[in-house]
Amino acid sequence: MVSFSLSSSSSSSSCLKLFSHSQFTITTLSNLSGHKRRSDSSCRFVVLSTHSNPKILKSNRRSRYGQPLSPYDQDDDDEVSRVTDVSDDDWLLNDDFAEISDFDVNGKRPKSHKGFSNSHLDGRNSKRTLEKSDKEDYYHRPSKTKEVTSGDVPRKGKLATRKAMEDRFPRLSEDVELDEKWLPLIDYLCTFGLKESHFIQMYERHMPSLQINVCSAKERLEYLLSVGVKQRDVRRMILRQPQILEYTVENNLKSHVAFLMNLGIPSSRVGQIIAATPSLFSYSVENSLKPTVRYLVEEVGIKEKDLGKVVQLSPQILVQRIDISWNTRLLFLSKEIEAPRDSIVKMVKKHPQFLHYSIDDGLLPRINFLRSIGMCNSDILKVLTSLTQVLSLSLEDNLKPKYKYLINELHNEVHSLTKYPMYLSLSLDQRIRPRHRFLVSLKKAPKGPFPLSSLVPTDECFCQQWAGTSLDKYMAFRQSLLLKEFAKKYERKG
C-alpha cells in the first residue's frame, strides 16, 4: 500500500511551496467562492484537475482543414467496448442483472477530454515530459528502423516512393501532408486494426504522434501488452490518447503502473484500468495522481485499504475533478434526502461512478421516482446505501417496468424494496419474470406476495431450494419464455 502524508498542520506557505510545480491548483476553500487568495489561508487544499477545466477545453477547435473538432474523445465503431466495472460483488456481472443506463453527464456523455493546454499534453511543448529524441531518432537513424509490414495490406519490399504511398493510402495522402517516413509506424499500427480514417483522426488530434520512431512505439506498446492491456484495446487507446506513443517506458509508463499497483490493484486488473483511462499517463504521479488520492483519503474519507477497489470500479476518478464532484454531490444528497456524510461515503465505496453522474439528469430523476412510488427519505437512503447502482439504471427500461411487475404480477408492496433493494438491479427478462413464471407453472408459487428472496440465489440454488427440479429444465423454460417475449416485442414493432 502506498503511503501518503495526511498531515494538515503545516503552514499555507509550505503547502504552496510543496505543490509549486504541480499540475493542480492549490487553493483554499474560500477561493472556490470567488475570494482572493490570502497569504494566511489554511493548508487545507483542493485538488483541481486541468482536464476538466472549462477554460482549457476549446469548444471551437478546428482541424487544419476547417473541420470542427470535439473536445471529447470520439470512440470509434461498435467494436469499441467499455471496460466492465468489477467489484467484490461478482453477482453484478451476471447477465441476469439489469443493464446500466447510459444517460448523459452534465449534458455530455462521459468521455476523456482532449485539447488541453498542459505542457505534457500539448504537442508544441511535449519535450518537457515526452522523449525528446523520438523525432531525431527517426530522421537521423533510419538504418536502425525496420519496416513492419501490415498484415492487412501485404506488399513486397519497402514502400519508398510517394506513388506507392499514395496508392496504399489515397485518402490519407489527400487529407494530410503525409510524410513517407511515417510509413513504418503506420504499417505497425495497422496490425492493431487502425485504418486510414484513424490515422487522419490521430493527425488532427496530435500530429507529432505520427512522427514517432517505430521501434520506440513498438517498445511502448509491447510494454503495455505485457502488463495486461488486451490487443483489441490498443486501437481504442491510441485513438483516445495518441500521445501514449510518446510516453517512454522508463520515465513514464513504469512509474504509473507501479503507482496503480501500490494502491492495491492486482496485476491482473492493471491492463483493464489502463485501457479504460489511457489519459492516466498524461498526469504526473507526484504532482497530480498522489494529491488526488490524498484528497480521497483526507477529504472524502475513503480508507487507504479501499482505494484499490474504488479505482477499479471507476478509474476515471483519478483524472477528474474529484473535489467539485464530491462537494456538490455531498451537498445535494445531504439536502435532498437528508443523507449523513457516512452514508454518502459508503455510496462512493460501492459505486464511485455516481460522482460523475449529472445531478439534474441522473441523480434527481431517480430519487424523484423512488419518492413517487411511496418511499420516504429514509427508505430512499436505505435503498441507495445498499445498492447505489440504482442511480445508474434507466427509468424507462429498468426501474418503471420492474416496479409495475412488482405490484401487478408479484403482488408485493413498495416497502419490500427496502428489504430487498437488489430486486431493482435484477434483469426483468433474464431473472425476475422467468423464475416467477416457472414456479407458477410448477404450482409452487406461494399464495399472496411472491417471495423476493427466491430471486436472489444462483440458478442452481433456486432450482434446488425453490423449484425442486433440474437446472436443465429451468434453463429450457427460460429460453422458451425469452423467445416468446421477443416475438411479442417484434410483433408490436411490426
pLDDT in tens, 282-330: 999 999 999 999 999 999 999 999 999 999 999 999 998 899 999 999 9
> CA angle, 56 as apex, 194 and 286 as ends, to 5°?
80
Residue range 153-207, pLDDT digits in tens: 444 444 445 677 777 788 887 888 778 888 899 999 999 999 989 999 999 999 9
pLDDT at 226: 97
Model pLDDT, residue 179: 80
Residue 224 has pLDDT above 80, yes or no: yes
Residues of the chain with CATH 1.25.70.10: 323-493
The pLDDT tens digits of the residues spanning 40-64 come to: 444 443 443 333 333 333 344 444 3
Residue 476: what pLDDT? 96
- pLDDT exceeds 60 at position 281: yes
Listed residue (399, 379, 418) closest to 100, CA to CA? 399
pLDDT band, residue 83 (cuts 50/70/90): very low
pLDDT, the chain, mean: 76
pLDDT band at 493 (very low <50, low <70, confident <90, very high): low
Residue with cell 498522489: 290
Question: What pLDDT is attached to residue 161?
Answer: 55
Cell 478546428 -> residue: 62
The pLDDT, as a whole number, for residue 489 is 75
Paired residues of 68 in beta bridges: 62
323-493, what's its fold? Answer: Transcription termination factor 3, mitochondrial (1.25.70)
pLDDT score, position 296: 96
CA–CA separation, 98 vs 422, rounded Å? Answer: 10
Q: What is the pLDDT of residue 428?
A: 95
- Output the pTM of the full model: 0.65
* Residue written as grid cell 486541468: 50
Find the Cα–Cα–Cα–Cα dihedral 466, 472, 474, 480, rounded to 10°: 180
User: Helices 322-336 and 341-350 sit at what angle, rounded to 10 degrees?
Assistant: 130
The Cα–Cα gap between 95 and 83 comes to 16
Q: How far are the Cα atoms of 71, 438, 440 from residue 116, in angstroms, in the given order? A: 9, 56, 59
Maximal CA-CA distance, the chain: 83
CA distances from 405 to 22, 414, 428 (A): 53, 11, 8
